A and B are shown apart, each in its own frame.
Chain A
Amino acid sequence: MKVDRRSFLSFVIGGAAGTALTPLPWKLTDDLSIWSQNWPWTPVPPRGETTYVASTCTLCPGGCGISVRKVDDRVVKVEGLKGHPVNDGGICPLGLAGAQLLYSPTRVRAPLKKVNGSWREISWDTAIQEIADKLKELRGKGQPQSVAWVSDTDRGTVAELSKRFLTVYGSPNFIRTPSIQDSYELVLYLTQGQRAMAGFDLANATYVLSFGSGIIEGWGAPPHLFRAKSAMQQKGGKISQLEGRLSKTAAKADQFIPLKPGTEGALALGLVHVILKEGLYRKDIVQNHSAGSDALKKIAGDDFAPDAVSKATGVDAKTIVDLAKAFAGAKKPLAVCGRGNGRQEAGNAQEFLAVHFLNALMGSVNTAGGVFAVPEPDYVDWPEPEMDAAASAGMQQARLDGAGGKDFPLSRYLLNRLPEALGAGASSPVQVLFVNQANPVFSLMDTARVEKSLKKIPLIVSFSAFMDETAALAHYILPNHVYLERFEDVPAAQGFPKPFIGLAKPVVAPLFKTRHTGDAVIQLAKAVGGNVASAFGWDSYEACLKESLGDKWDALKEDGYWVDAKFSPAAFETKSKKFEFANADIALLPAYAALKAPGDDKTFPLTLIPFDTLRLASGPIGAPPFLVKSLEETLLQKNDGLVEINPADAQKLGLADGADAVLSTPKGTARVKVALSEGIMPGLVAMVRGLGHTAYDRFLAGKGVNINSLMSSVEAPGTGFEAAWGVRAQLTKA
């Protein structure tokens, strides 16, 4: 057949018209999309009965109530518990992503033992027996004190079981991870004679002066403070934020006052100076309920006059006077401190003391809108264990970290000093280290030093539910249940102004061959035998928990929490029975001095400071995928961490927004990208904390830089606390 022009055109035009008119292409497109939507590898979530279980979140010390939504036996979502005294329905991003932690691919599924550098699954009985054999051997050699235990808390039944184990075994080396609780507890003890936790009644304050505290960035009990802050500002209350960077808290405060970081204590003493000089303090309260106020004139002497403080802090003298007047003039002023989320370092106790003095001068201690001394929980009231000779001898030994010793008589725990205590030599004074709910290899300052020193310990036992950095370094992992699979008491809600107990409940049966750390400790004690075994009479952790909580158990199981609604704080327990601005213990601390960021100014012209975000997890938890996904592009781009710098500084260094750069500090270097920000003080650079993991899943590992690997530890004089707030740094073009 011959194709002429006419037939060709009719074919093309006819074909085009036909194609347009027939529904075939549209039908095909639709069918194609329906087909592609039914590919078998796309999950179809199974239906089932929806139920809600009330429990308590243990992912941070905040103690929030949670309502866990289940569909049959699956956890589908974690939500805030309405009507809960701490969070009343509100919840933070990490809490919301709880189901991703339960079903995380990085969970440790069975007890593991490291054999020739790789993990081998072993049975619980074998693992416990092998560790117990080693412990018996050490005890036989008269070295029970060479066993140490690191934990994120020293309260609640699991921590108490661990402490009891160490005591009756014969080691004083139970060490809590550093946080601002160390400083706050010390300050309450020094001035009020109370072993108590600090609680803040932010909701009823009318003016909050925050010395760099991340009130809405994880400090205290996060959702509780979010609500309190909203309520307080709604009623006309004001917040002044003092720090070197426009943090989220600063951005949402009523007033942001740039302050050179590390000089918070100087400013607090400067305010005390003005308040004393102008007689602005509450004379009735100071005269009747305090002692030693004369000493304040010396503590906040002429060195802290506005001009001198202005030079140190970068806040001008008039602002200092105005601030003092605003604070003193407020009906219910409240001063808070502890930078960022306050979960990484203990801080400089003298700075906390100065801030607490401000509250005391204005009568904001133990009153509505002020700071409360919340008593430590007392429900763990077990009979004293019977100590044998080995235990008593071991407990006589000095603590490895030096806490409570002659150099640091006032401190209780100094984990930051552990690397130093492990010494430079080849042998380690610690033969066995237990790690529970802590990830020191990631979260202590100068991680390379920490890792190197921990590697000297012949036996590390981790109770981690996840393969975190410290677990990866361990020799045994005895995996705990995840919080949605276990009972556990939450002995306090950090920063909450009332005594509180929460109960975490098993929402689902354990998914893997994990075991409750409480049970593991009891079984370990029984395997060690002798007096150690007889100190643990319980059959199981649950029995121990039930017995400890006593008459509160039923209410806790029903409601998930117990709160002392009518709480009124106890009278001061100092010698004078008053608030003491000065006494023999306080005199043990050297006078306040601002601590410098380590590193020399010439090589390192900038100062690197860390900051926190609620879009990342801190402490022993690694951020689940939803959190990493929600991170701002100013914090992470592909696998590069970003460092925030003022455009003026960047211009001097020839760095554009998004440029590749090298950040170096005395402790290390890292490749970063540059994020220009008008919210940071010239001279400072900042990086977020919580990135740069080497462990966990592909959604978190290898992303960004762990700022702790660039930081250098700073030991506060008098207390030995970790007080690193920054480090000198250099930023150069890559």
Chain B
Amino acid sequence: MDQPNNKRFGMVIDLDKCTGCGACMVACMAENNVPFREDDTDKLLSIAWMRVYRLKNGKSFPQAEECFLPRPCQHCEGHHGHSPCVSVCPATATDYDMQTGIVSQVPTRCFGCRYCMAACPYHVRQFNWWDPVWPDGMERSLNPDVSVRMRGIVEKCSFCYHRYQRALDKAYAEGRRDLKEHEYQTACTQACPAGAITFGDLNNPAHAVHKLAQPDMAHEGQSRNPKAFRLLERLGTNTKIYYLSSKEWVRKAGDTAVQKA
């Protein structure tokens, strides 16, 4: 339901600041109990909710330039919540939450048909081809706030929804109904040592993300910031991840294809 106090959580990633270090990926893995395997070098089979891609300007040495692009779930709103994956899921395992703008993924509902993976234009969804196995003793590091996923189901970034719930619980316990900006931040945002990731409510003009992304809600959230772009914007997926870059070739690369790392 569209309500006036609905939130649209989103992210702005400043590619000028991103150094490609990978802290966001590891922060996400540790926060969300992402499994790992002995050989995780085949990136089509390796599960990572957040992945850092490398963009190249295609020129030869020494004109070659590179830019790093972290890619979480884009949390597409599409038209009125018809994100590509939500529309195809036969199990209602993934859903668009109008109150937060978060595309959920419920592991116990998913039965592994992988339609959503085919539908997602951003490769944010990955399939568990194997049961997750932790080396003896390392399962002690698992986070109880996030379910461990099994063989046979699809998983993806949740904008650390459990952190939202935890923050809300805390606020309610303190008699508040609303959260302060810093109270709900995703693991990747918190970890980024370069300060490249900003997270918050795109609907809230006081939030840093709103100021950076300058979304034009009359035009499906298109940014008014000349430095900003969204991935494959022409598909009309109306994503909530905005990227900033001062380089034109980077902005252009964002709307064509993501090259291999």
Contacts and interface: CB of A to CB of B under 8 A. Distances in A.
A251 B144 contact: no
A92 interface: yes
Interface stretch (B60-68, B117-125, B171-179, B223-231): B60-68
B213 interface: no
A629 interface: yes
Given A630-B48, A633-B260, A678-B60, A227 B195 contact: yes
B191 A76 contact: no
Interface in A623-661: 625-634, 636-639, 646-648
Interface in B204-261: 260-261
Given A43-B134, A90-B194, A698-B38, A630 B26 contact: yes
B21 A226 contact: yes
A96 interface: yes
Nearest to A681: B61
B111 A230 contact: no
Nearest to A102: B141
A230 B196 contact: yes
A39 B16 contact: no
A230 B194 contact: yes
A261 interface: no
A646 B25 CA distance: 28
Residue with the highest number of chain A CB atoms closer than 10 Å, among B22, B150, B151: B22
Interface stretch (B1-9, B27-35, B73-81, B97-105): B27-35
Given A248-B21, A627-B26, A630-B25, A79 B190 contact: yes
Contact of A251 (B48, B66, B196): B66
A406 to B, nearest CB: 45
Interface residues of A, number: 82
B191 A681 contact: no
Interface string A168-207: 0000000000000000000000000000000000000000
Interface in B76-130: 91, 107-108, 110-112
Given A105-B137, A632-B54, A93 B260 contact: no
Interface string A253-266: 00010100000000
Nearest to A680: B61
Contact of B132 (A42, A74, A76): A42
B191 A90 contact: yes
Contact of B194 (A71, A216, A256, A639): A216
Contact of B22 (A78, A104, A630, A633): A630
A103 interface: yes
A77 B151 CA distance: 24
A563 interface: no
Given A36-B150, A256-B62, A681-B61, A77 B30 contact: yes
Given A39-B150, A634-B261, A679-B66, A248 B20 contact: yes
Given A46-B144, A678-B60, A681-B61, A227 B23 contact: no
A682 B61 CA distance: 8
A470 B132 CA distance: 32
Residue with the highest number of chain A CB atoms closer than 10 Å, among B29, B61, B67, B108: B61
Contact of A96 (B23, B48, B142): B23
A687 to B, nearest CB: 16
A17 interface: no
B12 interface: no
Contact of A233 (B16, B56, B60, B192): B16
Given A251-B66, A628-B40, A100 B21 contact: no
Contacts of B54: 632, 634
B141 A230 contact: no
Contacts of B148: 42-45
B107 A37 contact: yes
Nearest to A33: B111
Contact of B29 (A90, A251, A626): A626
Nearest to A222: B193
B66 A246 contact: yes
Contacts of B141: 74-77, 99-100, 102-103
A16 interface: no
Given A37-B153, A680-B61, A227 B193 contact: yes
A625 B25 CA distance: 12
A223 interface: yes
A97 B139 CA distance: 13
Interface string A497-513: 00000000000000100
Contacts of A42: 131-132, 148, 150
Nearest to A639: B39
A91 interface: yes
Contacts of A638: 39, 41
Interface string B165-191: 000000000000000000000000011
Contacts of A36: 150-152
A89 interface: yes
Contacts of A87: 193
Contacts of A102: 141
Interface string B44-74: 0010100000101011111011111000000
Interface of A: 29-30, 32-34, 36-37, 39, 41-48, 71, 74-80, 87, 89-93, 96-97, 99-100, 102-105, 216-217, 222-223, 226-227, 229-230, 233, 246, 248, 251-252, 256, 258, 511, 614-615, 625-634, 636-639, 646-648, 677-682, 697-699
Interface of B: 16-17, 19-23, 25-27, 29-31, 33, 36-41, 43, 46, 48, 54, 56, 58-62, 64-68, 91, 107-108, 110-112, 131-132, 134-144, 148, 150-153, 190-196, 260-261
8 contacts: A33-B112, A33-B153, A37-B153, A45-B143, A90-B194, A93-B22, A226-B21, A630-B29
Given A33-B153, A91-B193, A628-B40, 5 more contacts: A42-B150, A93-B21, A633-B41, A633-B43, A681-B62
The 6 A-B pairs with the shortest beta carbon distances in the complex, nearest first, are A90-B193, A223-B193, A45-B142, A99-B141, A678-B64, A226-B193
